[in-house]
A = this chain, B = another copy of it.
Amino acid sequence: MKLHEYQAKKLLAGYGVPIPQGSVASTPAEATKAAEQLGGRAVVKAQVHAGGRGKAGGVKVVSSGAEAAEVAKRLIGSTLVTFQTGPQGAPVHQVLVEQTVDVARELYLSMTTDGGRRRPVIIASQAGGMEIEEVAKTHPDQIITEPIDPAIGLYPFQVRRVAEALNVTGEAARPFAMLLNACYNAYMEKDCSMIEINPLVITKDNKVLALDAKVTIDDDALYRHKAEAELRDKSQEDPLEVQASEHGIAYVKLDGDVGCMVNGAGLAMATMDIVKFAGAQPANFLDVGGGANEEKIAKAIELMLSDKSVTQVLVNIFGGILRCDVAARGLIAGIEAAGRQPRMVVRMLGTNVDEGKQILAGSGLKISLVNTLQEAATAIAAK
């Protein structure tokens, strides 16, 4: 789950990460007040779950409360399109009004989990303010990684190593060390998947400050972080994806017209590949997961059919934890709930497959039952 910048900063500040003074505003009046508290001069930043706000016009320096209100009025309620949002953009409901800072240096700092090392890693670079993917492509030698052993935590020699690589010395070394420790504590205690501070700035008076911050929390761990779970801003996500995730369904909207419903992420990707190889275009990625029940299948079908661009459907169920009889009953219930049934190809195999096929056959619905992936592809292409 992604946090907004202002939420991420508040979370990090709770662990001791220094952040600029400022406050979040939902109305132009609040923006005026926030800017005036800072003496008029301030930065107004649109709060959306995406990078690239600056170039998209989502970040403005203002010099008075009135000007802050103007910017806020323009941003709040608008849709910001950045290179990360896609063409549909992301809605702005709040702006963060912050003090301006005399920046001496801009650094990049993040923490994430390295699956290969099975450890959290610090990723850092002197090239702050740039997209790290870009730095990785053009100057991979400028990126340093420092894995942290979760058995013992982050040790001072590692902090010194990172500081040395970033050339953070003198007065800034101690606050930098405290910031890094604070990030690690936040990362572990809050089950983060990523903390990114870009840029991390060193000010002209040798202070260290998180000028921007992104935090992502492991969805699977939200059950033990009630307060953070409350911070979810569903307006930043596709409404269908939100509904799907509320039912534990992985759903990603795509550009085609073949609705795909599959159990298992790997088989879902394989099914999309098949559809494309057959010359058609998938309308979505949809994984109902291993332990789906009838209600979940029904909901998945209903959600998929609520997307009007879906003109035909390919269901591919390989019963393991999910039994085919359960899937069949869910399928029927979903079509009923959706109130429409486009052309439908169903491929079903595995646990209780015969029962499942019987249920579909007895439903009276017009469904093409196929046995293999190849047959499924052929049936879809045959439209």
Grouping DSSP codes into helix (H, G, I), strand (E, B) and loop, the A interface class, with mixed when no group exceeds half, is loop
Identical chains bound together, number: 2
Closest to A152 in B: B151
Q: Which residues of B contact A150 (CB under 8 A)?
A: 151
| Cα A284 to Cα B214 with chains together (Å) | 62
Interface residues on A, range: under 10
Which residues of B are found within 8 Å of A152, using beta-carbon distances? Answer: 151
Q: Which residues in window 125-153 of A have CB below 8 A to B?
A: 150-152
Q: Please measure, in the bound complex, the distance between the C-alpha atom of A150 and the C-alpha atom of B152, giving whole angstroms.
A: 8
Q: Closest Cβ of chain B: how far from A203's Cβ, in Å? A: 30
- Distance to closest chain B CB from A191 (angstroms): 15
Q: CA separation between A152 and B152, bound complex, in Å? A: 9
Query: Please, how many angstroms separate the alpha-carbon atoms of A152 and B149 in the complex?
Result: 11
Interface string of A146-179 (1 = CB under 8 A from B): 0000111000000000000000000000000000
A147 to chain B, nearest CB (A): 15
Give every chain B residue within 8 A of A151 (Cβ-Cβ): 150-152
How many Å from the CB of A149 to the closest CB on chain B? 9
Would you give the 0/1 interface string for A91-113, flagging 1 where the beta carbon is closer than 8 Å to chain B? 00000000000000000000000
Minimum C-beta distance from A1 to chain B (A): 25
- Shortest beta-carbon distance from A366 to chain B in Å: 52
Which residues of A line the B interface, CB within 8 A?
A: 150-152
3 interchain pairs (CB within 8 A)? A150-B151, A151-B151, A151-B152
